Amino acid sequence: MRIIHIANFYGPKSGGIKTTLHNLGSGYTAEGHEFIYVVPGKKFGREETTHGACISLPSWQIPFSGGYRVIRSTYRVKTILNSLKPDRIEVSDRFTLSCLGKWAADRNIPAIVFSHETLRGLVKNYLGVPMKRFVSWHNTRLASRFDFVVTTTNFAAAEFDEIGTTNVVRVPLGVDLQTFSPSLRNEELRTKMIKGGDVLLVHCGRLSPEKKPERSLETLRALLDRGINARLVYIGSGPLHKKLYDSSRDIPVTFWGYVANKKLLAQMIASADISLAPGPIETFCLAALESLASGTPVVASETSAVGEFLVDHNGDFVGLTAANNGRAFADAVQILLDEIAEDATLSDRCRTQAEQFPWSETIMRLGRLGGATPVAHRPTNKSAA
């Protein structure tokens, strides 16, 4: 089967989307499928990679996004699709690429769309008001154009379930269990990162407004006020880098930047005590799962989806959620530090929990959607026209 995945917000320093595409490609290829992914670039290009063929199309750079790009012309995308004759298409962008669902329906080609974000959360985060009618209209319209809407957690699916969407499927993403491992803890690297501190916190992710990276600074300040000799290391880049840097000159913070070397990234995470994931509207958070795979417990926002995988099958926690303020995050960090001191099995339990999310399981579940429901049976709604 020839599977073509079209995605925006993909680039050299993008995180979750790039990781997802590469792992999907590797998994599909291992199953004997042909995988091609179409992404934004500076110009037209085609490259054969270990994940499949990558086609880049001319794109617009989004202002103040830290380098994110969006494909300029869906007409060009459709032209590419017409020539490649896919057996199935996958789309990662609910906004500018949703028209591809109709293109596929007109040709009786199964099509799925990944809902990587919560529209309800984005609207509230950026506009400050819920705009429920708009969110419901958009989600109904999106679902009507595709055979399936793939969500990664119950949190991500909730806004579709609330409007009675019938073609939503939950498929958790996976984690690279070979790359990320507790065995990669590196004491020499830890000493370099912690710079004389006692507790090493890492924040791994994009430094952008919706991720609320400033919450990690608030957490560090609260811990320092309590006499805890901690250091925070940011791993990642983004539009808020300068603002965060300028506001943290008086406290022990290191901005490591984007780390392209996966082995180094895995060593850094495995060498930390606790990983912070403060994004309040995360629908999955691959960085949190990579932390667990590295044996590092996580503190995450209580309003995100991350809490769904911070409790193992025995009911034991491998991380904690906290209210969206620095004091609450600091409280959770202190609880985990006590747990680390008292329970030598915590790191192993983190790893065991991550092992419940192999990419092979993700690929298998998505494979079941290969014979998608007939286009004629797609949900319809007059408001979605």
Could you report the per-residue pLDDT of 266-282, keeping only the tens digit for each?
A: 999 999 999 999 999 99
Q: Which pLDDT score is estimated for 381? A: 42
Report the length, in residues, of the chain.
385
CATH architecture of 2-174+360-384: 3-Layer(aba) Sandwich (3.40)
Inter-residue long-range contacts of 102-107, CB under 8 Å, 24+ positions, other chains counted: 102/145, 103/78, 104/146, 104/375, 105/145, 105/375, 105/378
Q: Which pLDDT score is estimated for 236? A: 95
Domains of the chain by residue range:
2-174+360-384, 182-357
Q: Could you tell me if 259 and 265 are in contact, meaning their C-beta atoms sit under 8 angstroms apart?
A: yes
Q: Which H or E run contains 217?
A: helix 214-225
Give the burial string for 60-84 (b: 16+ CB within 10 Å, else e).
eeeeeebebbbbeebeebeebbeee
Sheet holding 230-235, edge to edge: 253-257, 230-235, 199-204, 274-277, 298-301, 319-322
If the chain, 385 residues long, is cut into consecutive pieces of 10 residues, what is the mean pLDDT of each piece? 94 83 96 96 94 95 79 95 97 94 96 94 85 94 97 96 96 97 98 97 95 98 98 96 97 96 97 98 96 98 97 93 98 98 96 97 91 43 34
**How far, in Å, are 57, 71, 91, 325 from residue 46 at the CA level?**
9, 15, 19, 45
* Spatial separation of the C-alpha atoms in residues 178 and 182, rounded to whole Å: 11
Sign (positive or negative) of CA dihedral 221, 223, 225, 228? negative
Q: How many secondary structure helices (H) and strands (E) does the chain include?
A: 14, 15
* Spatial separation of the C-alpha atoms in residues 352 and 225, rounded to whole Å: 34
Q: Could you tell me if 298 and 277 are in contact, meaning their C-beta atoms sit under 8 angstroms apart?
A: yes
DSSP structure string for 30-88: HTT-EEEEEEEESS-EEEEETTEEEEEEEEEEPTTTTS-EEES-HHHHHHHHHHH--SE
**How far, in Å, are 12, 215, 231, 292 from residue 220 at the CA level?**
29, 9, 7, 21
The matching CATH number, chosen from 3.90.1150.10, 3.40.50.300, 2.40.30.60, 3.40.50.2000, for 182-357 is: 3.40.50.2000
Nearest to 351 by CA among 232, 178, 208: 178
Nearest to 288 by CA among 323, 332, 254, 318: 318
Q: Could you tell me if 175 and 358 are in contact, meaning their C-beta atoms sit under 8 angstroms apart?
A: yes
Q: Which pLDDT score is estimated for 69? A: 87
Q: Which pLDDT score is estimated for 376? A: 41
Structure tokens at 122: 């984005």
CA triple 284-25-80, angle to 5 deg: 110
* Spatial separation of the C-alpha atoms in residues 8 and 151, rounded to whole Å: 17
Q: Which pLDDT score is estimated for 145? A: 96
Number of other CB atoms surrounding residue 258 within 10 Å? 17
